[in-house]
Amino acid sequence: MEFTGFLWFSIISVMLATYVVLDGFDLGVGALHLILGRSDEDRRKIMKSIGPVWDGNEVWLLATGGVLYFVFPQLYASSFSGFYLPLMMVLWLLMGRAIGLEFRTHINDGIWAAFFDAVFSIGSLLLAVFYGAALGNIVRGLPLGPDHYFFLPLWTNWNVGPHPGVLDWYTVLSGVVTLVALCMHGANYLACKTDGDLHERARKTSLLLAPLVLVLTLVITLATLALHPGVVANYNALKIGYLIPVLIVASLLGVIFFQKARKEVLAFVSGALYLVLMLVGAVYALYPVILPSIDPQYSLTIQNSITSSYALQIGLRWWILGIVIALGYFVFLYRMFRGKVVLDNHGGYGD
């Protein structure tokens, strides 16, 4: 059962990392939309760069939630008990972002175009911050009770303590780090998908943001160590884990090096690697805990929250079938829409 738990924990982690990389550049592109898009043509190009793929990318979030539901049902139930309000806010932001992106190309009116541009960009920006704050809450710890349920107000006094809110100085810092990192990721993606002045602005934005991400990564690491010195326990037990922070720094240096060398695809890969390694570092520190409690005795672990062996066996068969279909679809989708963005006559998502 221990190996089975580790296997499913790894599967969910890989699916979540896939979502962060794929929808991460969507969010980054959206957050930069009003900054990099200085003309209507630029903004149409920005939207078209993600138009054919953004909704498919979000499937990974739904798929991860579905797998989480049947593998770790207690984790799913506990998370929704305390994060109900933030999750509803995320849901509304996802819908608003989708409305802004899709309706923008269907209404030929300058005022409405500007409105939907703002909805799309602000929704993307806030989603990035909320996702980062959610990760910060998990790393910080939650006030789980003996029944593994909890309640969090949106904020209290902004301090980290026994009675925190969803938002405090640490989780907001996590949200800011995530926002800047995803903006860098989005700029890398736009540099791959566009040309001309928009391409140059995206490339220069990536070169500007990568050093800032490096500084913020150091700040959030020091803040985490100050709050929870015990997070290095797994690193000290298996010291190969210290390669993770080294690779994180190397990936950011790779973004800078490859952007300067005008190798945009390699810069994008380096940025994606940074996001994956940051998640790996957090997972490595927490394992086998999957929902930490401020009082460690109430933490949810793989062992005390996993479902039955029979359910896992049946679920694995359906997961294999589903993941093969999903991977085939994504390979087809990204091959079909590879290359630079070219606007059609009406500004939609045409070939």
Give a yes or no: residue 5 inside a domain. Answer: no
pLDDT tens across the length of the chain (351 residues): 578 889 999 999 999 999 999 999 999 999 999 999 999 999 999 999 998 899 899 999 989 999 999 899 999 889 888 888 888 999 999 999 999 988 887 877 888 999 999 999 999 999 999 999 999 999 999 999 898 888 888 888 888 878 888 999 999 999 999 999 999 999 999 999 999 999 999 999 999 999 999 999 999 999 999 998 889 999 999 999 999 999 999 999 999 999 999 999 999 999 999 999 999 999 999 999 999 999 999 999 999 999 998 889 899 999 999 999 999 999 998 999 988 988 875 545 443
Output the pLDDT for position 220.
Answer: 97
Give a yes or no: residue 300 inside a domain. Answer: yes
Q: Which amino acid is at 147?
A: D
Give a yes or no: residue 243 inside a domain. Answer: no
Output the pLDDT for position 350.
Answer: 43
Parent domain of 148: 23-206+288-336
Nearest residue to 221 via CA among 269, 179, 173, 185: 173
- Identify the DSSP state of 1: -
Q: What is the DSSP track for 188-226?
A: HHHHHH--HHHHHHHHHHHHHHHHHHHHHHHHHHHHHHH
Structural domain count, the chain: 1
- Residue pair 118/134 in contact (Cβ under 8 Å)? The answer is no
Give a yes or no: residue 231 inside a domain. Answer: no
